[in-house]
Amino acid sequence: MLRSLTRVLVVVVGICLPAAAQWINHRAATTPRTKDGKPNLAAAAPRDSQGRPDLSGIWQRIPPINMPDNTGFDNGLQYYVPDGFQIPFQLWADALYKERFRKFGTGRPSERCLPHGIPDAMLVPAPFKLIQNRGLTLILYEESNHFRQIFTDGRRHPSDMNPAWFGYSLGTWEGETFVVDSVGFNDLTWLDDSGHPHTDALHTIERFRRQDFGHMEVEVTIDDSKAYTKRWSAKIPLGLLPDTELIEDICANEKDVVHLQVK
C-alpha cells in the first residue's frame, strides 16, 4: 500500500537518483499467502533457528492517525507519543525545535546529502530492510543507501568511540522483544524531519516487537540530558512490504539548497 507512494515521492530539495525496476515485484517463496494468493500479513511471525521472532524483512513506517492537517509533517515523533504527552525539552532545545518546525524543516541534514540518524532513518517515507543473523543484525536503509550494524555477539560498547552518525549499537533479547542500545552519536543529525534536536550525549533504546507476519512496533526511548529534562519514548508502528526489494537511491551531491529561502 505505502510502497506505491514511496515510488512517486517528489523531492522538493535535493536530487536523488533511484534506479529503474530492481525486483520491485518479486513473488517470494517464503511469504505466507491467503487462498487467493495474496500475502497473508496476519499470519504468524516467522522464527529464527533459535526460536526467536525473525525480524527480517522490508519495513516502512505507518503514518500516524492523530496528525493535525496542514502541518507539513507526518513523520514527527510528536505524533507517536501518548495523547497529552509533552516532550520534556530543555529551554534551548525547545526554542530550536520551534524554529525548525516554523521553517517546515528547512536546513535538515538530508538537504546536504547527510544521513538521517536514529530514529529519523526509520521515519522517512523510504523503507528499510532488516536482516537478522546470529551475532549481527543489519539494517539497510533505502534512502541514500546507508546501513547500520547491530551487534548481538555479546560485545560491549567500545571505550574509544568516534562520534558516529548511527552510533554504536548492541542488541539483546528480552523474551519476544529485540532491544537495541545505542550510544556514541555525533550531534549532526535531527531526531526527525520536524526538527527535534539532540546532542552528542544522545543514548537511544529501541524495542522491536514483531506482532505477526506483516506488523511490527518499535518503541524508541530518547535519553539526552543536554537536550531534554528526562527520558521520553515514542511508539512507531511498522508495516511489512512483501514481495518486493529495495531500490538503489543515491543523493547526488545536492547543490540546490543554497537557493532555498524560507520566510
pLDDT of residue 75: 84
Rounded to an integer, the average pLDDT of 207-222 is: 98
The single-letter code of the amino acid at 118 is I
pLDDT of residue 26: 87
d(CA 48, CA 177): 13
pLDDT of residue 257: 56
**15-53 pLDDT per residue, tens:** 344 444 577 888 899 999 999 999 999 999 999 999 999
Instruction: Give the count of beta carbons closer than 10 Å to the beta carbon of residue 98.
Output: 12
SS (H, E, C) the chain: CHHHHHHCCCCCCCCECCCCCCCCCCCCCCCCECCCCCECCCCCCCECCCCCECCCEEEEECCCCCCCCCCCCCCCHHHCCCCCCCCCECHHHHHHHHHHHHCCCCCCHHHHCCCCCCCHHHHCCCCEEEEEECCEEEEEECHHHEEEEEECCCCCCCCCCCCECCCEEEEEEECCEEEEEEECECCCCCCCCCCCCCCCCCEEEEEEEEEECCEEEEEEEEECCCCECCCEEEEEEEEECCCCCCCCCCECCCCHHHHCCCC
The model's confidence at residue 140, banded by pLDDT at 50, 70 and 90, is very high
pLDDT of residue 228: 98
Rounded to an integer, the average pLDDT of 140-145 is: 94
The single-letter code of the amino acid at 20 is A
Mean pLDDT (the chain) is 88
pLDDT at 97 over 70: yes
Q: Which residues pair with 181 in a beta bridge?
A: 170, 205
Rounded to an integer, the average pLDDT of 113-141 is: 96
**For 129, what's the count of Cα atoms within 13 Å in the CB-facing half-sphere?**
15
pLDDT of residue 261: 54
Rounded to an integer, the average pLDDT of 132-140 is: 97
In CATH, the architecture of 2-259 is Beta Barrel (2.40)
Better pLDDT: 73 or 94: 94
pLDDT of residue 104: 87
* 57 φψ region: left (φ > 0), alpha (ψ -120 to 50), beta (else): left
Rounded to an integer, the average pLDDT of 55-77 is: 82
Tell me the domain boundaries of the chain. Answer: 2-259
The single-letter code of the amino acid at 183 is V
**Cell numbers at residue 71, please?**
502541518
Cβ within 8 Å of residue 184, ≥6 positions away:
157, 158, 161, 162, 163, 164, 167, 168
**146-203 pLDDT per residue, tens:** 999 999 999 999 999 999 999 999 999 999 999 999 999 999 999 999 999 999 999 9
Better pLDDT: 67 or 102: 102
